[in-house]
Amino acid sequence: MMQAPLEAPPVSPLLDLPLARLQVSRAEEPVTAPYPTRPDVEPTLLQNADGLWTLAIKQQGEYGKFEVPYIQSQLLLSDPESDLVVVLISYHGTEAYGPKRYRRVSKGQFYRYYWQQPGGWHRVLWQKLSDAWRTLILEITQEQAPAWARPPGKLSSERRPPAPACQMIAYKVVRVIEERYFSIYDPTQEYVIGERKRQRARPKHRGGFFTYATELAGLEYLDSCVSFMPYHPEVAIPALALLECEIGGRIIDYGHKWASTYLCPMRVLEVRSLP
């Protein structure tokens, strides 16, 4: 059964909001997609040949009615002196989707920020705004936004710092070639004292830097390598060394040794010459 064509809502005249050659108008083309997404419903920022900037916002439909997709764009801040425009957008689609038990419509709410900078108006992300701007926006949102609207974000001072990476001391046996330190298994992998290296630690020995948990275990492995060194015999190996290292990031415990995402050699504990 064919659906009747959707009728476009009447186009409103250009809103009288000149903001340093920025004017706000209602978009002429209606949104007809039954499952609109953010790119479908957000404002469009354009500059014409005369240098006039226009912000076309979308307004159509009625909340809870499904004849056309509902889109509401509310200007929360449009002060010519602030050089900042804040728009709250809310929307929902016209048709449900998904399994019957969990059927729902496409819907949501979000904010957009437009900032005048040298060269014209540009959209700016919340993360790029200073705390002074964020404080102003939060105050305006609390005063003007509907009760159902979520706050736009947090101040920088309110965000939790990232959790520090796990740091541990471990011990690694390496080749010594001309006073430089290389991996036993891969002679092209060099370790520099004080330089941190990264390789993602993955289960089943598929990645990471391998070390021993105790100095004693490292020395025992060093002794065994001095007695029997089968790795890459074509590479000259005058000596082996035990390095004290700082490891961090993801650490996988294999029982007799560890694999870590980060490794930083700190100092040389012992050097053994090969016979």
Q: Is the pLDDT of residue 99 over 90?
A: no
| Spatial CA neighbour of 58 closest among 92, 14, 27 | 27
Q: Around 12, how many Cα atoms within 13 Å sit in the side-chain half-sphere? A: 12
**pLDDT > 90: what percent of the chain?**
49
Under the banding of pLDDT at 50, 70 and 90, the label for residue 187 is confident
Model confidence over 24-57: pLDDT tens digits? 889 989 999 888 889 999 999 998 888 889 999 9
Model confidence over 264-275: pLDDT tens digits? 999 999 998 877
Least confident of 85-99, 150-164, 174-188: 150-164
d(CA 187, CA 193): 17
* Residue extent(s) of CATH 3.20.170 domains in the chain: 167-273
| Spatial CA neighbour of 124 closest among 75, 142, 133, 247 | 133
- Average pLDDT for residues 4-19, to the nearest whole number? 44
Q: What's the Cα-to-Cα distance from 66 to each of 39, 110, 239, 270, rounded to whole Å?
A: 20, 21, 78, 76
- Higher confidence at residue 167 or residue 155? 155
- Average pLDDT for residues 65-87, to the nearest whole number? 86
Secondary structure of 145-205 as H, E, C letters = CCCCCCCCCCCHHHCCCCCCCCEEEEEEEEEEECCEEECCCCCCCEECCCCCEECCCECCC
Choosing among 1.10.3470, 2.60.40, 3.20.170, 3.50.30, the CATH entry for 167-273 is 3.20.170
